[in-house]
Structure 1
Amino acid sequence: MRTVSHRVNTKKSHATSTEFGKSTSELLILKPEGYPMSGMMEEYPIVENRDVFEFYAREQWNGYVARKGDYLFDRRMFPDFAYRIIDVEPAESLIGMNTSIIVTEEENSLFSTNEIKSDVVFDDVIGQENAKRKCKLIERFLDEPERFGKWAPRNILFFGPSGTGKTMLAKALANKTDVPIIPVKATQLIGEYVGDSSRQIHQLYDRAEEMAPCIIFIDELDAIALDRRFQELRGDVSEIVNALLTEMDGIEEREGVCTIGSTNRAQSLDAAVRSRFEEEIEFVLPGEEEIRQIFESNVKTFPLPVEDCDFKALAKKAKGLSGRDLVEKVLKTALHQVIIEDRETVRAEDFEKAFSKLGKNEPTQDPSGLYV
């Protein structure tokens, strides 16, 4: 039995009349800490039935204000046993009878800080009309998962150049359907020891099932689902791929869970993993008209005024750049230079200089074909 190595906070967290305005917790992540006194029990209580434990926990802590770092104490089954709150969504919210509760022994839970709800809308994604159209299928599934049965679109692949809006569209989809999204970088799922990676993946799907209907968005999928021909470069590929295939195959039915994988290297994916995606949705680099819209939409949020600028002409010079490149390497570079020079307006030549730093003075061949 491990002892608590730091002082236990014994201050009560129960809601008072001044805290009635707080929202109800959607997710509560706890870490078992043990008893204040050593020697009372050699092992932590084992949670054998998660549903029963969650109901019991909600019932006894219903109305408590959950704050990250505070402690919750068991009052009946294992009196005075302490759980520390690793994370709570929303912050400082009230535990209620619909709060999803996860117990983990990990100090830094993999999914404790990820976004639960999205505020991105489809209009935020300029262009990608074909991708938006195909996403209507996922939208209908998340709205009414029971209608699809075994024909549900559970696994979707977003592929195309970096910075073309794959992550934004996944978040917009979650917002449109009012479902939570769990965005995860694939590299977060790579464990330090044998067995860690598969455990991380199963933990991810366990949480999504508790929040269903829910979207799991795995960015940079190729980092964990490499073609098995490259296994000599990554010894843990087989473990990761097998765990991912188990979840995607639906051997354990995950009702209302949709997996969206994202990659800019579709050809490097393991064939077995890629075959599990029922739909592949391609994202392409923006055309001239879309580039103009990206320019005009983003300069509206500049903290400085922009002098009359021919964005249509600038769009011709930006051929081959992604939306993220346009924002981060052209617009932001130009704005920062103006601020450095203590000027009050952004002019067309500022954007021209930003292009020259990229070597984009001449139109560039559209490389989107590399990702087909």
Structure 2
Amino acid sequence: MDFITEVDLYLRSKATLILILSPEEERIIDTLKMLCQNTGRSCIAWDIADGFQPIIGNAAPKGGRDALTVLEQIEKADPQEPCLFILKDYHEFWNNSSIKRKLCTLAETLKFSKKSIIITAAGAEIPSELINESVILDYPLPYITQLEEVLDKLQLTPGVEIRLSPSGKEKLLQAALGLTASQAQRVFAKSIVSRGFLSEADIDFVSQEKKQIIREVEALEYTDTDETPADVGGLGALKQWLNLREQAFGHEAAAYGLPAPKGVALIGIPGTGKSLTAKMISRLWHLPLLRLDVGALFGSLVGESEERVRRALSIVEIIAPCILWIDELEKALSHGGLDAGTSTRVFGSLLTWMQEKTAPVFVVATANDITALPPELLRRGRFDEVFFLDLPTESERKEIFEVHILKRKRLPDAYDLQRLAQASRGYVGSEIEQAVIDAMYIGFNDHRREFTTEDILAALQKQVPISISQRENVEKLRDWLREGRAQSASFRDSSVAESQFVPIQIEIKTLPE
């Protein structure tokens, strides 16, 4: 159902007070104007600066600069004439008790007339007294066809030159998805001004501009990814699962009747590669990665957090197909009961969206603290699978050392990887990487020589791995896997003893007095 059809259904079903949320006021007015033209309604707009202005039809009430007077004028209008009143930013006034009372009464009275009120706002929290009388709608961001209209309109401007093939035009519009119509127009115009014309070379420019604009959505970040499966050591079971779903977003999968995968939850010990995996999935599937910082969703104003959630998820659905990385999901509940229920509502909004979304958005949720997550989060329907990232096995540690040595432009064959893997039992991937870096410091400060296996072993000896420093927490997490609550992200080594890590003996030397 498109937006015009949805609004028309509400109007015909006697919804007399509708709140439309969007910063795109101009597009909303154009849409409502089209609706009124198609349905034979008059349309009158109002704002505090200019009062009443006719949009469809000639007659408009006189005066009405006062917020309370405007409601009285609407009440006096002919009840038998189909008319839509658009009040711009009227939410700024409805916290006044008199206006709130009058608006509530008017919404009830208009049910016996052919008049309705639509309030437009970039974002607003509706008073509890008006909830039962109101319909709240989110105005959708423009789709490709609407962005194409923006581009075509820009092309009619004298002096504007567009050098785009049909495929190049499609790629450019795809790159602009997630922007409002005004933002897209500004980005296209900026590109034309900088180079004198618009061509396929501007696709990357539009993408970069979009990333800057998306960063203005406080909790959403467009993340660049270079990580391939070869850059992630271990996690063979998870990689195999992802490879089976690599083509699931294509037309062939849809024709086969295969639904697009919903998402995966990555639970486990800190430093085992959960964030790295999210970036790897984006590169593997060639889909954009959007990172949602749940902690940044919370605002200080009433209703601000819920509005940030709606706006962020709206942008994600427009950009789809894409990967949505929800980092440290337990932060959504970190406010506990000290925020008047805001964290519960934000978390509930995320859960509902994850369950009911139809857009091809693959959710990658990472979490360290399992105890902070409610059981309903991890059930099937929201995620296709829950993977646990455990302490790496011996073969995985060997692979991780190889990855990080190669990353530093050295040949892994020059190092005793087997010995390093055995000596690093109980270490996570991030600690292994740090050991390689520390070994490079040793070699660099020793007359710039190449770092060796012995240097890495010495660096390992100086570290206290998380499996020791947080032994109790790590064991609680691993018990969660042993109880069968998740699938292991790794293929297990044949050695059963590998599941029980052996603490590293750290030699402490006493300096002579």
TM-score by length of 2: 0.50
User: Which residue of the partner structure matches residue 24 of structure 1?
Assistant: none
Taking the TM superposition and a 5 Å limit, the aligned residue runs for 1:265-276 are 265-275=369-379, 276=382
User: Which residue of the partner structure matches residue 427 of structure 2?
Assistant: 321
Higher relative contact order (CA 8 A, sep 6+): 1
**Within the alignment, does 1:139 sit opposite 2:246 as a pair?**
yes
Deviation at 1:232, TM superposition (A): 4.5
Aligned pair partner of 1:218 in 326, 338, 352: 326
User: Which residue of the partner structure matches residue 366 of structure 2?
Assistant: 262
| Paired AA for residue 296 in structure 2 | Q
Deviation at 1:149, TM superposition (A): 6.8
In structure 2, distance between residues paired with 1:182 and 1:337: 38
Residues 83-133 of structure 1, C-alpha deviation per residue, up to 9 Å, x if partnerless? 866xx99xx89588997998x9999333775226x3322222221111122
In structure 1, distance between residues paired with 2:328 and 2:215: 25
TM-score by length of 1: 0.67
Q: Does structure 2 retain, via aligned residues, the 8 Å contact 1:195–1:239?
A: no
Deviation at 1:332, TM superposition (A): 1.0
Q: Does structure 1 retain, via aligned residues, the 8 Å contact 2:423–2:457?
A: no
| Paired AA for residue 373 in structure 2 | L
Change (3 A) 1:300 1:154: closer
**Within the alignment, does 1:60 sit opposite 2:161 as a pair?**
no
User: Which residue of the partner structure matches residue 302 of structure 1?
Assistant: 408
In structure 2, distance between residues paired with 1:107 and 1:289: 40
| Paired AA for residue 277 in structure 1 | F
In structure 2, distance between residues paired with 1:159 and 1:258: 17
Change (3 A) 1:243 1:49: closer
User: Which residue of the partner structure matches residue 347 of structure 1?
Assistant: 452
Paired residues, what number? 313
Q: Does structure 1 retain, via aligned residues, the 8 Å contact 2:306–2:345?
A: yes
RMSD of aligned residue pairs (Cα, Å):
4.6
Deviation at 1:331, TM superposition (A): 0.8
**Secondary structure of residue in 2 paired with 1:224:** helix
In structure 2, distance between residues paired with 1:179 and 1:211: 10
Aligned pair partner of 1:123 in 215, 218, 230: 230
Residues 122-145 of structure 1, C-alpha deviation per residue, up to 9 Å, x if partnerless? 222221111122224543432356
User: Which residue of the partner structure matches residue 72 of structure 1?
Assistant: none
In structure 1, the gaps of 5 or more residues are 1-30, 35-39, 66-76
Deviation at 1:350, TM superposition (A): 1.9
Aligned pair partner of 2:352 in 210, 233, 246: 246
Q: Does structure 1 retain, via aligned residues, the 8 Å contact 2:288–2:322?
A: yes
| Paired AA for residue 130 in structure 1 | A
Change (3 A) 1:202 1:54: same
Residues 17-59 of structure 1, C-alpha deviation per residue, up to 9 Å, x if partnerless? xxxxxxxxxxxxxx99x9xxxxx98989989664386344333
**Secondary structure of residue in 2 paired with 1:179:** coil
**Within the alignment, does 1:335 sit opposite 2:440 as a pair?**
yes
Deviation at 1:256, TM superposition (A): 1.2
| Paired AA for residue 369 in structure 1 | R
User: Which residue of the partner structure matches residue 397 of structure 2?
Assistant: 291
**Within the alignment, does 1:369 sit opposite 2:478 as a pair?**
yes
Which one has the largest radius of gyration? 2
User: Which residue of the partner structure matches residue 201 of structure 1?
Assistant: 309
Change (3 A) 1:354 1:112: same
Change (3 A) 1:280 1:56: same
In structure 2, the gaps of 5 or more residues are 1-22, 27-48, 52-87, 90-119, 123-138, 156-160, 164-180, 482-513
Q: Does structure 1 retain, via aligned residues, the 8 Å contact 2:219–2:296?
A: no
Deviation at 1:192, TM superposition (A): 3.3
In structure 2, distance between residues paired with 1:338 and 1:272: 51
In structure 2, distance between residues paired with 1:108 and 1:197: 15
Residues 214-267 of structure 1, C-alpha deviation per residue, up to 9 Å, x if partnerless? 1111111111146x9x435895321211211221121xx432112121112233
Give the helix-richer structure, 1 or 2.
2
